[in-house]
Chains A and B, each alone.
Chain A
């Protein structure tokens, strides 16, 4: 499951709550993943620039489809909604790397 990045033991009630909250969110009904919805700060923008081409294209497709559905005030059929198990936090590694590089720069420029 992509929800927990590390191998942490999560209580069952927590998982159930997470699933319920996920399905109540709007974005899975448009077929998007969580990382598609991140607000584009500088860090996120840089991370998006570093995505491999196929991941970036898939992201663009999901966003285009979601915009179309949202314009028509429509959603995908229930069986095509993104499921929590399929949601992949694909942008996190790149964000972590960009953050790390910024921290290093900041440390060096302090001295």
Chain B
């Protein structure tokens, strides 16, 4: 079992690998990508259930997603989602930690907990025959947490370890800093626990957080490769820990600048403005704009200047190694759009200025038709490649179901992408790029300009 952490975005990372690992994976995905036969209903306790059956693959995946994430933390609960995530393998009301582990290993299943800033996803992968035990393990781990005080104390070390691992990665720290400066609270809360909270999470605190936030309307269970009646039957005895309704505080974008000097050879910086939420009608056009600007090299080990405008621009400003990519992070009601750049410490100023001027030129001079066409193809290809993997498909369905209430099929998404015109892209560029900027920088910042020197 593992507890992973990812951040949600439709197109943030280009998956260049087409997964041809096993026939089962491919067949599972072809059924799933079309989303034919996706059935959605509500359990008597109020939880949404969705299932997509597939007869060709012996693997079933079930995801229990709760709209609980760092976004909902109060200022005295920082990092509690991190603690919640690492305590997935601990004793719950119906099984001890030992029993949970042994049941799962006995049926050869994987149970993991993934946290995004808005959602907590408990995912189970197992064979279809073992679903009864698998789903009972999943439901007990996700909704019947017992939070035994001595086990919570044991997982504090794990929290400290994960935070230390993140501390070693400037790119991860950059993302956290960027969100913090852009949103302050709600979406600005970090995915990882701050050091002043290590050892401070108590059983009562966690229980209170779960009872407040794990409510029926903010939870959904999605099954891939399992029939609807079967899934509903397994979930009959599920009880929801929370009650009452708890509306999310709207994410307010503030903007600003944060810098962290740690020395070294390289500098990492990200500059963004407020993007669009996933429910915004222009969100697809913004994805196209992201690909117009450039999402990194499309050919492995190439320098990418043929594919990416900003790599081309930065490549003309410096001859030393660098990397830059356009960021488009989408949450349910807000987003971040901009770029990040990594360069040698002495070259950072030139690189940032070159990339910024490229963004500026899009708002002034517009975009070329062929760039828009290329970008649309890339968006569609990226979405299609991501849906090759069953776990991506189910996580995508889970997040859409919670934030929008409906799930968009791949054909619908492709149609939306095809309907984006050059004017849409230019309009959304003008709307988004001219917003208030936020900047985060970490590394050797000796020549990295401040935000006011760049704008």
CB distance from A28 to the nearest CB of B (A): 30
CB distance from B157 to the nearest CB of A (A): 16
Structural contact, A104 and B150, CB atoms closer than 8 A: no
* Those of B53-112 within 8 Å (CB) of chain A: 96, 98-99, 102
Structural contact, A101 and B96, CB atoms closer than 8 A: yes
* Those of B351-406 within 8 Å (CB) of chain A: none
Partner of B150, one of A50, A100, A105, A108: A50
Structural contact, A49 and B102, CB atoms closer than 8 A: no
Structural contact, A108 and B98, CB atoms closer than 8 A: yes
Q: In the complex, which residues of chain B have a beta carbon less than 8 angstroms from the beta carbon of A50?
A: 148-150
Q: How far is the CA of A83 from the CA of B98 in the complex (A)?
A: 40
Q: How far is the CA of A104 from the CA of B103 in the complex (A)?
A: 12
* Those of A52-111 within 8 Å (CB) of chain B: 52, 100-101, 104-105, 108
Structural contact, A104 and B98, CB atoms closer than 8 A: yes
Q: In the complex, which residues of chain A have a beta carbon less than 8 angstroms from the beta carbon of B150?
A: 49-50
Chain A residue nearest in CB terms to B102: A108
Number of A-B contacts (CB under 8 A): 15
CB distance from A59 to the nearest CB of B (A): 16
Q: How far is the CA of A105 from the CA of B149 in the complex (A)?
A: 21
Structural contact, A104 and B96, CB atoms closer than 8 A: yes
Q: How far is the CA of A106 from the CA of B114 in the complex (A)?
A: 32
Per-residue CB proximity of B138-162 to A under 8 Å, as 1/0?
0000000000111000000000000
Q: How far is the CA of A62 from the CA of B99 in the complex (A)?
A: 36
Structural contact, A52 and B99, CB atoms closer than 8 A: no
Structural contact, A52 and B98, CB atoms closer than 8 A: no
Q: How far is the CA of A98 from the CA of B255 in the complex (A)?
A: 52
Chain A residue nearest in CB terms to B149: A52
CB distance from B93 to the nearest CB of A (A): 12
Q: In the complex, which residues of chain A have a beta carbon less than 8 angstroms from the beta carbon of B102?
A: 108
Q: How far is the CA of A105 from the CA of B95 in the complex (A)?
A: 12
Q: How far is the CA of A80 from the CA of B99 in the complex (A)?
A: 45
Q: In the complex, which residues of chain B have a beta carbon less than 8 angstroms from the beta carbon of A105?
A: 98
Chain B residue nearest in CB terms to A100: B96
Q: How far is the CA of A104 from the CA of B148 in the complex (A)?
A: 18
Q: In the complex, which residues of chain A have a beta carbon less than 8 angstroms from the beta carbon of B98?
A: 101, 104-105, 108
Q: How far is the CA of A94 from the CA of B149 in the complex (A)?
A: 12
Interface of chain A, main secondary structure: helix
Q: How far is the CA of A108 from the CA of B101 in the complex (A)?
A: 11
Q: In the complex, which residues of chain B have a beta carbon less than 8 angstroms from the beta carbon of A100?
A: 96
CB distance from B184 to the nearest CB of A (A): 35
Q: In the complex, which residues of chain A have a beta carbon less than 8 angstroms from the beta carbon of B149?
A: 50, 52
Q: How far is the CA of A101 from the CA of B146 in the complex (A)?
A: 15
Q: How far is the CA of A104 from the CA of B100 in the complex (A)?
A: 11
Q: In the complex, which residues of chain A have a beta carbon less than 8 angstroms from the beta carbon of B99?
A: 104, 108
Chain A residue nearest in CB terms to B106: A108
Per-residue CB proximity of A18-60 to B under 8 Å, as 1/0?
0000000000000000000000000000000110100000000
Chain A residue nearest in CB terms to B101: A108
Q: How far is the CA of A50 from the CA of B96 in the complex (A)?
A: 15
Q: How far is the CA of A49 from the CA of B148 in the complex (A)?
A: 12
Q: In the complex, which residues of chain A have a beta carbon less than 8 angstroms from the beta carbon of B148?
A: 50
Q: How far is the CA of A52 from the CA of B99 in the complex (A)?
A: 24
CB distance from A66 to the nearest CB of B (A): 26
Per-residue CB proximity of B149-180 to A under 8 Å, as 1/0?
11000000000000000000000000000000
CB distance from B139 to the nearest CB of A (A): 19
CB distance from B150 to the nearest CB of A (A): 5
Q: How far is the CA of A49 from the CA of B102 in the complex (A)?
A: 24
Q: How far is the CA of A6 from the CA of B180 in the complex (A)?
A: 54
Chain B residue nearest in CB terms to A50: B150
Chain B residue nearest in CB terms to A105: B98
CB distance from A99 to the nearest CB of B (A): 12
Chain B residue nearest in CB terms to A53: B149
CB distance from A34 to the nearest CB of B (A): 23
CB distance from B103 to the nearest CB of A (A): 9
CB distance from B107 to the nearest CB of A (A): 14
Q: In the complex, which residues of chain B have a beta carbon less than 8 angstroms from the beta carbon of A49?
A: 150
* Those of B257-286 within 8 Å (CB) of chain A: none
Chain B residue nearest in CB terms to A52: B149
- Chosen A-B contacts, 15 in total, with CB atoms closer than 8 Å, are A49-B150, A50-B148, A50-B149, A50-B150, A52-B149, A100-B96, A101-B96, A101-B98, A104-B96, A104-B98, A104-B99, A105-B98, A108-B98, A108-B99, A108-B102
Question: Which residues does A use to contact B, with CB under 8 Å?
Answer: 49-50, 52, 100-101, 104-105, 108
Given A100-B96, A108-B99, output 13 extra A-B contacts at Cβ < 8 Å.
Answer: A49-B150, A50-B148, A50-B149, A50-B150, A52-B149, A101-B96, A101-B98, A104-B96, A104-B98, A104-B99, A105-B98, A108-B98, A108-B102
In the A-B complex, the 3 residue pairs with the closest CB atoms: A50-B150, A108-B102, A101-B96
